[in-house]
Amino acid sequence: MKIVYQGSPGAYSHLAAKKMYPNYEPISQNTFEECFNLCLKNESYRTIIPVENSIAGRVADIQYLINKYKLQIYAEHFQPIIHNLMILPSSSMKNISSVRSHTQAISQCQKIITENKLEPIIAADTAGSAKYISDNKINNEAAIASELAAEIYNLKIVKKNIEDNKGNVTRFLIMGSKASHPEFKKKNYITSCIFKVKNKPAALYKCLGGFATNNVNLSKLESFSDQNSFEQYLFICDIYGHIEDPKIQKSLEELGFHTVSLDILGVYEASEYRKI
């Protein structure tokens, strides 16, 4: 099996992939769409995709790719994001005048940047920033990235856990092209679906009524426009429960009456990180 992630080796997606599937071969891709496309064509591939962050919110454009490719969700993973300041082994902090990283990492580490009077340089990703400094032997620049990135690119970590707010966590979904879901047992599950509401008054209210009457809890309901239209909206919904649970089935049956389309994206065990 192979696990596909977006970003350079050492990215937080790579870190999450190693945590979830230590025996899988990790494969890096430049874009999220390349990850989805590769898994669509190969049943032996899985991809690990960040969908939301506890500080920055949802990851842009992922919901459109989820709807476009309709890959099955097999699992979820909550990865703590621990930022580290790293430089070349031959350099020291007195030589550092700038810091390079992804825009979110830069914004999440403002305190140390301000204290050291560093000029921020926005880059495509965290691990790519570490690679850039290592490959080009830049002595006056630091990178903000993971410990894994420092290890891969032979950089020296001068300070760990530099994020302004502790408890920074990213939720990842593990997806692939083969439909599969776990047997219904006495465990905590998530059923994820995507649906398009009918263009009628109170359509969403009616869609959600079945969950209320069947005492079913939702962990997420996220909307996005359909094909650049502001007339109809799609919704990604995470439901607490297994699709074979009668109350989930009744809720989805009622949901179907008030939607144009309804696709089940996956059924998977809820992460232990969740406080259920």
Supply the DSSP symbol for 179: -
Which fold does the domain 2-80+168-176 belong to in CATH? D-Maltodextrin-Binding Protein; domain 2 (3.40.190)
What's the pLDDT at 24?
96
Residue 127 confidence (pLDDT) above 80: yes
Quick one: how far is CA 92 from the chain centroid? 34
Please state, in angstroms and rounded to a whole number, the distance separating the CA atoms of residues 213 and 252.
12
Does the model's pTM come out above 0.75?
yes
Question: Can you read off the two tokens belonging to residue 34?
Answer: 């390349």
Domain with CATH 3.40.190.10 in the chain: 2-80+168-176, 84-159
d(CA 166, CA 171): 16
Do 276 and 82 contact (CB within 8 A), yes or no?
Answer: no
Report whether pLDDT(276) > 80: no
Query: How many whole angstroms separate alpha carbon 102 and alpha carbon 87?
Result: 16
* Dihedral sign (CA 3, 191, 177, 222): negative
In tens, the pLDDT along 7-38 reads: 999 999 999 999 999 999 999 999 999 999 99
Long-range contacts of 103-108 (CB under 8 A, 24+ apart): 104/53, 104/56, 105/144, 105/145, 106/144, 107/56, 108/55, 108/56, 108/81, 108/83, 108/163, 108/164, 108/165, 108/168
Overall fold of domain 84-159: D-Maltodextrin-Binding Protein; domain 2 (3.40.190)
**227 vs 210, higher pLDDT:** 210
Fold of 189-269: Alpha-Beta Plaits (3.30.70)
User: What would the pLDDT profile of 143-198 be if each residue is shown by its tens digit?
Assistant: 999 999 999 999 999 999 999 998 899 999 999 999 989 999 989 999 999 999 98
